[in-house]
């Protein structure tokens, strides 16, 4: 078998060598760009920790970071983790058929509430078609226990998070997107699974 590629490269070796020598000399003459120094790089804010969940002795962990440098302190990042945790629990309750309070309406957009109510309607129809009231009751009676929150502050008005939580012995994830409106964070997207 004949290696034509190797032949072409070896035949043009002198021309390639001359080409790279010209490029190298040309770039050396235009050295007006400063080189990047790693010690000039500023790390982006990242905060981690844990907080107690409800009246239990369980602690949920959080990891919230930012895509941009800002002057916000750790309190903002902890507040964002708590908001994500609260909204994930509320969304879980709505998707399991719990009534919607006025406090829930303040943190969720109307579109999110509509989708979560539809989700519960479909789930409850599935259980009633199978005559499985016990599983439906178990799904509704167990509390939501957040385990871990991982969030990213995308911009000063946009925050996204993933919350791992458990209902009984089953683990679920909630993907959340928030938008800052009039000084409060409103959830614009909830995806439970």
Q: What is the pLDDT, as a whole number, of residue 1?
A: 46
Q: State pLDDT tens for residues 87-111.
A: 998 888 877 777 778 888 888 888 8
Q: How far is CA 77 from CA 11, 107, 159, in A?
A: 61, 17, 10
Q: Shortest CA distance to 74 belongs to which of 153, 5, 16, 12?
A: 153
**Is it the case that residue 8 has pLDDT exceeding 50?**
no
Q: What is the mean pLDDT of the chain?
A: 79
Mean pLDDT to the nearest integer, 161-169: 90
Q: Give pLDDT, residue 7.
A: 45
Long-range CB contacts (< 8 A, 24+ apart) of 108-111?
108/186, 108/187, 108/190, 109/186, 109/187, 109/188, 111/188
The answer to whether residue 4 scores a pLDDT higher than 50 is no
Dist. CA 75–CA 137, nearest whole Å? 38
């Amino acid at each position: 078998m004949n290696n034509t590629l190797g032949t072409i490269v070896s035949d043009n070796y002198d021309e390639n060598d001359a080409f790279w020598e010209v490029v190298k000399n040309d770039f050396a003459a235009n050295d007006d760009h400063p080189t990047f120094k790693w010690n000039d790089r500023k790390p982006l804010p990242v905060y981690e920790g844990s907080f107690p969940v409800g009246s239990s002795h369980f602690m949920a962990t959080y990891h919230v970071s930012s895509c941009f440098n800002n002057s916000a302190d750790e309190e903002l990042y902890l507040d964002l983790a708590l908001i994500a945790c609260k909204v994930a629990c509320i969304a879980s309750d709505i998707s399991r058929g719990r009534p919607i309070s006025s406090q829930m309406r303040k943190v969720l957009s109307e579109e999110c509430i509509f989708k979560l109510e539809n989700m519960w309607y479909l789930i409850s129809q599935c259980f009633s078609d199978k005559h499985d009231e016990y599983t439906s009751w178990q799904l509704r009676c167990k509390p939501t226990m957040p385990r871990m929150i991982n969030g990213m502050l995308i911009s000063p008005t946009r925050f996204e998070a993933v919350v791992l939580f458990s209902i009984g012995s089953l683990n679920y994830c909630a993907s959340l997107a928030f938008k800052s409106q009039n000084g409060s964070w409103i959830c614009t997207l909830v995806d439970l699974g």
